[in-house]
Amino acid sequence: MTHLIEADNLSVRFAVGGGLFRAKREVQAVSDVSLTLNAGETLALVGESGSGKTSFARALLGLSPISSGTVRFEGRDLAAMSAQDRQTMRRSVQAVFQDPFGSLDPRLPISAIIGEPLRIHGIGTARERDARVAELLELVGLPATAKSRYPHQFSGGQRQRIAIARALAPKPRVIVADEPLSALDVSIQSQILNLFVELRERTGIAFFLISHDLAAVHHLADRVAALYLGRVVESAPRDALYSHPAHPYTRALLDSVPRIGMGKRVPGHALGGEIPSPLAPPPGCHFHPRCRFATERCKAEVPTLRPIATDHLTACHHPLLEAA
């Protein structure tokens, strides 16, 4: 089966610093990550800030250069695509960004913002584009009269709905959503999350969701991959990962989620320590300085991502359990 999007040993490196008396240093933002996304599926990439999630997403979108490895869309290598094929790919893969205030041009009315992808890709006549804008506003729960207003006249949640409408305009097959809830109030987050669920059911669109919100991921994702300092440490179907996390980092992320129990809200357990600098990652398993199960082997040897059950992979020398 041909995957909709496939990343194979994808690495992203950046040169930082440098000056008159200082040499540039290299940051390994993403290291040999291999993930696939199928039609109609939601794949979530989770991890702390600084784990490389956004760098990976930008590489998928062609917004950041790929240092090594490949990204394929419907089996075709992104790097080998012609300009026309890239344009087709960009129509099929749209993005929703984290900041609903910064992602919309304040100088344009909503009709122009949502209609811009249609204009760029030469979709429809002016009248057809106008009708599509009205249809999209209704789809995301905004009145058609909103098209004549400007971004500053809307709340954060409404702006994110506008950004989603813009992403849906050219009828893409995939939406890459980079922390689409984090800048919103909790009550608005649930509305946007429910909107994503409804859109997937109505349109069959696939989502690549980047988030640190494990509760939101559980609500939406089919599969989940945990990223730590640029490496995938665990990947599994959602229910398997949430019920039987095999990597200590994944377990720590899940333990940090607040829970409801015994008639009151039970706080989660924060993961101890700080994520190391990607400029100087620890040797061996990057997580070993924060892992209470670490051994001398963990400090010296990089664990490989290996299967422990059907579709359940982990990069750990001492998995918490062998999932059944």
Could you read off the pLDDT of 229-285 as tens digits, one per residue? 999 999 999 999 999 999 999 999 999 877 655 444 445 556 777 888 888 899 999
- Cβ atoms of residues 188 and 182 within 8 Å: no
What's the pLDDT tens digit per position in 162-216? 999 999 999 999 999 999 988 788 888 888 888 899 989 888 999 999 998 898 8
pLDDT value at 15 more than 90: no
- Cβ atoms of residues 211 and 179 within 8 Å: yes
* Residue in this structure with the two tokens 């995939």, named with its chain if needed: 174
C-alpha span between 48 and 303 (Å, rounded): 20
What's the pLDDT tens digit per position in 50-80? 899 999 999 999 888 899 999 999 999 988 9
pLDDT number for residue 278: 85
C-alpha span between 52 and 237 (Å, rounded): 21
pLDDT value at 16 more than 90: no
Give the dihedral of Cα atoms 221, 224, 226, 227; nearest 10 deg: -80
pLDDT number for residue 259: 64
pLDDT number for residue 7: 95
Tokens of 126: 């002016």
C-alpha span between 222 and 198 (Å, rounded): 15
**Per-residue pLDDT band at 1 (split at 50, 70, 90):** low
pLDDT value at 318 more than 90: yes
pLDDT value at 141 more than 70: yes
What is the chain's mean pLDDT, rounded? 89
What is the SS3 assignment for 136?
helix
**Per-residue pLDDT band at 6 (split at 50, 70, 90):** very high
**Stretch 156-163: mean pLDDT, rounded?**
93
pLDDT value at 313 more than 80: yes
